[in-house]
Amino acid sequence: MPKGEYEIFEALNPFFEVVMEGLRGLVDGDHYFDTIAEDAFFEFRYHFPGWPLTIRGRANLMASFSGYGKTIKLHSGDALVVHRSQDSRVVILEYEVHGKILSGGAPYDNRFISVVTIDNRKIVQLWFYHGNIASPVSGGFVLKLWHFNSLCHPRNVRRSELSRSPLAGILH
């Protein structure tokens, strides 16, 4: 990972690395933040106290991630599975990250789904699911969002919401 402007995000390097591996050959940029369009739209499909449900723009996403290393330090990212959508602009990534909660040293292990829309080799939209995986079923995907701890309460995903999501092209 490049030093300098991204050094403040060093605690997130395993997250960046696993996502970049999943997007290899699809996006331009050496660092995760380099792959994001300036006006990209991020939607976090879970409720987490103090975290916004949406973020517009690369700079705002970077600002939101800037304090992460004060609470959690990641040491690895793995379990990457890449799903290609029927819409060639959409990629679904499943992955895990592992680290330590700095305040008490407790382990931090989490699973994610990122539904990434790419245009002109940059991320333009990302739906971010937290806590469990997407499983292929009958040619489509069924999202299983589980309440995995007391801080994360995923919101219920209704079929009407999925019809306007990047997943619409792969769901039946």
Per-residue pLDDT reduced to its tens digit, 113-146:
899 999 999 999 998 887 633 333 323 333 333 2
pLDDT at 124: 97
Structure tokens at 172: 């039946």
- 156 and 162 in contact (C-beta within 8 Å)? no
- Between CA 129 and CA 138 the distance in angstroms is 21
Give the CATH number of domain 4-169: 3.10.450.50
pLDDT at 3: 56
Residues 6+ apart with CB under 8 A from 104: none
| DSSP H or E segment with residue 37 | strand 36-44
Q: Average pLDDT of the chain? A: 77
Parse the chain into domains and list their residue ranges: 4-169
- Between CA 65 and CA 42 the distance in angstroms is 13
pLDDT digits (tens, 9 = 90+) for 40-80: 999 887 766 777 888 999 999 999 888 888 888 999 999 99
- 76 and 63 in contact (C-beta within 8 Å)? no
Q: Is the pLDDT reported for residue 158 higher than 50?
A: no
- Between CA 15 and CA 98 the distance in angstroms is 9
pLDDT digits (tens, 9 = 90+) for 81-102: 999 999 999 999 999 999 998 9
pLDDT at 142: 30
Residue predicted with more confidence, 152 or 54? 54
- 15 and 99 in contact (C-beta within 8 Å)? no
Amino acid making up residue 81: V
Cα 71 to the chain's mean position, in Å?
18
